[in-house]
Amino acid sequence: MDHSHDHHSSSSKPLLIAIAVVLIGYVIAAAVFQLPQTGAKMIGEAEKHHAGAKDHHGDAKHESGDQKDAPHDAHADKGATSTTKSHDPDTVAGEVHGDDHGKDISKQPPALWMVTPFVLLLGAIAVLPLLPLTEHWWESNKSRFMVAAGLGMLTLLYFLLLHGHPIDGHWPVHYIAKPADGGLNWGQAWAVLANAILDEYIPFMMLLFSLFTISGGIRITGDLRAHPLTNTVFIAVGGLLASFIGTTGAAMLLIRPLLETNRERKHVVHTVIFFIFVVCNCGGCLLPIGDPPLFLGYLRGVDFLWTFNLWPEWLFVNGMLLAMYFLLDRFWHYPHELPLDVAVDETRTTRLRLDGMWPNVLLLLGVVLSVALLDPKKELFGWRPWMYLREIVQLGLIGLSLILGSRKVREENQFNYHAILEVAALFCGIFICMQPALQILGVKGPSLGLDTPAKFFWFTGSLSSVLDNAPTYVVFFSTAQTLPKEAGIETIAGVAQPLLIAISLGAVFMGAMTYIGNGPNFMVKAIAEQSGIKMPSFFGYMVYSCLFLVPLFVLTTFIFL
């Protein structure tokens, strides 16, 4: 599609004013009302309560002796584990008691048909760009937001009007939201909205927005010869950077110079798709900052450097993808380029040049440090960061990048906010519409028969393809914690290490299966389309992913799992 009207550099003044308003509002909320501090205190108390509950449960389990080997008692112990984990915060203590015991979220999931809005939203993303009547209408982010928000409202209305059982709330701490005794279930509707927007969407979008905006102030210029090897090296470098500056940062940094290098070529779609495979997804599994699911695992007790244990799988999958790309480009697409285009590409070349490194490289490092250090669930040198301080710092770093960075570099990058607004418009609905699916998974997860690494890999990965991979990771991480631990198997944060490896790989790798599996996928697609490349539809992209990724993941299962 043509977004030439968006190519002019968007003015930063309105955004800077908005940032200033938010920062001032946060300062007032902290200085006058102490809201961020109160939220952090609540989270700290919930974490201590949860740790105490786990210790108490561990002691009780130890005292049970050999009883855990009996089938009936093992089942009971498993259920006790699930109950303990679902009622950890102080706000939940005493919520489920008496006749309500056993009737909480662990027994009463939302209706299965409530995944319909989510399915409809996926269908809209896949089909509306292809229909002549809606093709141009769908190009507007306002139209995308109307569809996403409308289906999100249907999801909220279900919990407001129809759902008659308790559900899990997660913001600011975990609690059980019960239905109203009479009238509308405002508490449940709020719990779902807070889960989706306040607990997940805001941190998700702020991280993507900061990496997108700051990296947009860095320009890598140059027009190399678009040989298969050149493109392969571009993708390989991006796959390596993805683990250290995040998949979003690496993708935004390298997609534009890759497209500029290939502007004389006609066959470029496969290059963008393999870029999404490697840089936006599979390259980001060596550090928790590489991909949001791994960061959530870090927050739940996985050691920061544990993910380096995934280097054999990282090397195998990314190496195979690079080899596939090189062979496909070298022996099929490159020979089909027109001789005139090849001749122009060979002669119209310039050296690579880096602009805008100051101050944006330091600001990108600041984003990484804010993610690693300013989490209210973890104390920092005896001090617990305030709620949303991480996001406020990231917002401030965006402001510094816009004020101190070169405006000329952004203009030359043809930088604008269309791609990130597309992600924001769609994912606000995605996060709301997938709440019933996540609630169902939270209930049914322990009874799904998941007992091997291969099953965890494929279940986590399959759902990460169509749900956001970060909350999907959390669901299966929690499910794995409830399973009996085998003697001699090392556990990491309460999860058997083979299962944690499978969950981590499934969430990161299979986020590449669809455009919505991981946030950067959509942004790269949008930037490519702004450059005049006609990208495949939702299902057209899946033809590539099923053809190249699925066989590779089958091999990964047999070799590593």
With beta carbons less than 8 A apart as the criterion, state whether 155 and 117 touch.
yes
SS3 of 160, please? helix
How does DSSP classify residue 351? Answer: E
Q: Give me the pLDDT at residue 1, please.
A: 42
SS3 of 406, please? coil
With beta carbons less than 8 A apart as the criterion, state whether 317 and 554 touch.
no
Return the bridge partners of 175, or none. Answer: 169
The ranges assigned to domains in the chain are 4-560
Token look-up 């509950």 returns 53
The two structure tokens encoding residue 27: 């300062």
Q: Is the dihedral of CA 552, 468, 42, 445 positive or negative?
A: negative
- Report the amino acid identity of residue 403: I
Q: Give me the pLDDT at residue 202, please.
A: 93
The C-alpha atoms of residue 473 and residue 287 are separated, in whole angstroms, by 15
The C-alpha atoms of residue 428 and residue 196 are separated, in whole angstroms, by 8
Residue 90: partners with Cβ closer than 8 Å, 6 or more residues away:
45, 46, 49, 173
Q: Give me the pLDDT at residue 183, please.
A: 86
pLDDT per residue rounded down to tens, the chain (561 residues): 444 334 344 578 999 999 999 999 999 999 999 999 999 999 999 888 877 766 665 555 555 444 444 443 433 343 333 333 333 333 333 343 333 433 444 458 899 999 999 989 988 988 888 889 998 999 899 999 999 999 999 999 999 999 988 998 989 998 999 999 888 999 999 999 999 999 989 988 998 899 889 988 998 888 889 999 999 999 999 999 999 888 988 998 899 899 999 999 999 999 999 999 999 999 999 998 899 889 878 877 788 889 999 999 999 999 999 999 999 999 999 999 999 989 998 988 888 889 999 999 999 999 989 988 898 988 899 999 999 999 999 999 999 999 999 999 999 888 889 888 988 999 899 999 989 988 888 777 777 788 899 999 999 999 899 877 877 898 888 888 878 888 889 999 889 999 999 999 999 999 999 998 888 998 899 899 989 999 998 899 999 999 999 999 999 999 999
How does DSSP classify residue 486? Answer: P
Burial 405-433 (b: 16+ CB within 10 A, else e): bbeebbeebbbbbbbbbbbbbbbbbbbbb
The C-alpha atoms of residue 221 and residue 261 are separated, in whole angstroms, by 9
R_g of the chain computed on alpha carbons:
24
The C-alpha atoms of residue 501 and residue 550 are separated, in whole angstroms, by 18
Q: Give me the pLDDT at residue 8, please.
A: 40
- Measured in degrees and rounded to the nearest 5, phi and psi for residue 356 equal 80, 15
Please state the length of the chain: 561
- Report the amino acid identity of residue 489: I
Q: Give me the pLDDT at residue 60, please.
A: 53
The two structure tokens encoding residue 411: 């203009």
How is the chain split among helix, strand and coil, in percent rounded to 5?
Answer: 70, 5, 25
The two structure tokens encoding residue 105: 């979220």
With beta carbons less than 8 A apart as the criterion, state whether 288 and 304 touch.
yes
β-pairing, 219-223 vs 350-355, is antiparallel
Task: Note every long-range contact of 484-487, with CB atoms under 8 Å and residues 24 or more positions apart, other chains counting.
Answer: 484/68, 484/74, 484/77, 484/78
The 3-class secondary structure across 70-135, one letter per residue, is CHHHHHHHHHHHHHHHHCCCCCCCCCCCHHHCCCCCCCCCCCHHHHHHHHHHHHHHHHCCCCCCCH
Q: Give me the pLDDT at residue 58, please.
A: 55
SS3 of 446, please? helix
Quote the pTM value: 0.81
